[in-house]
Amino acid sequence: MTRIGLTLVVLGITLMTGVESSELTPQLAEHMQRIASETSLLTPDHQAASNKLGDWIARNSSADKPLHVTIICTGNSRRSMLGSVMGNASAAYLGMPLVRFHSGGTTPSAFNKRTIASLRRVGVVIEPTGENAPKGPAGGDNPKYTVRWGATNPTSQLQVVEFSKHYRDPANPQSGFAAVLVCTEADGACPTVMGALTRIPAPFEDPKRFDDTPEEASRYDERRDDIARFMMLALQHAKAILESSEKSVDTDHLKTGDQR
């Protein structure tokens, strides 16, 4: 076994380098590069919550199985959708494809067309499947979409079928996940998130209030990028912890003369 391989076995982790930024659609890769340089723009509260998520990811990472994060809001139409898509894009950008993001709500509705438009503006490929998911409590169609952040030859790691759903929907992880609550309503409605190992409130302003105004597109894009910075910082923080741990174990082996 190589020294690097021994390091990973000892730690029980992997830096998950199977997918890299070059695998993203070109436009999205460029956008995520900018996002990665802007995490300092987050508010102190969002930075603290993001680092908490990063700590959890680092503690729970495994060499051979996915680690799941579910982003929760009320209607699962705007902020939670932005969180899951930009979380997956951030994980791909940083080469951490085993960290997988999902979305859910407390009162599902539909994947909002304005959210879809905002994601498409940065290179996410979103196409209707022609199928409908069950309607939420308010009724109305709930179309399913293929959401792809990979550039070519899409794989299950680079795309997902997305639709509005309760966070406990069978499409989402049922246990062992981190729950990030991105709206105050969901935070209040979910003092306990069933199946979650950790619960992290991180409310963001709802862009819905700007629907059908001249500011609509810019406000959705602003929220998309705010949430993207949150997800990117969490993963950067986790990756730094993992790399530091790897170097520490590596150094210990050198001190003991283990040169295998």
Average pLDDT (200-208) is 97
**How much is the pLDDT for 206?**
96
Average pLDDT (118-130) is 97
Average pLDDT (142-147) is 97
Average model confidence (pLDDT) across the chain? 88
**How much is the pLDDT for 141?**
95
The tens digit of pLDDT for each residue in 60-89 reads 998 789 999 999 999 999 999 999 999 999
- Would you kindly state where each structural domain of the chain is located, as residue ranges? 17-240
CATH number of 17-240: 3.40.50.2300
Average pLDDT (147-166) is 86
pLDDT at 249 over 90: no
**How much is the pLDDT for 257?**
54
When pLDDT is cut at 50, 70 and 90, the band that residue 2 belongs to is: very low
Average pLDDT (9-18) is 36
Q: How far, in Å, CA of 177 to CA of 74, rounded?
A: 18
Tell me, yes or no, if the pTM score tops 0.75: yes
pLDDT at 217 over 50: yes
Average pLDDT (217-237) is 98
| Interstrand relation of 177-181 and 196-201 (parallel, antiparallel or unpaired) | parallel
pLDDT at 21 over 80: no
CA distances from residue 12 to 8, 51, 155, 166, 195 in whole angstroms, order as listed: 6, 21, 26, 33, 23
- Say if residue 1 is exposed, middle or buried (CB neighbours under 10 Å; 0-12, 13-18, 19+): exposed
Higher pLDDT, 247 or 26: 26
Tokens of 101: 């993001």
**How much is the pLDDT for 251?**
52
**How much is the pLDDT for 9?**
32
pLDDT at 155 over 90: no
Instruction: Report CA torsion sign: 70, 71, 73, 75.
Output: negative
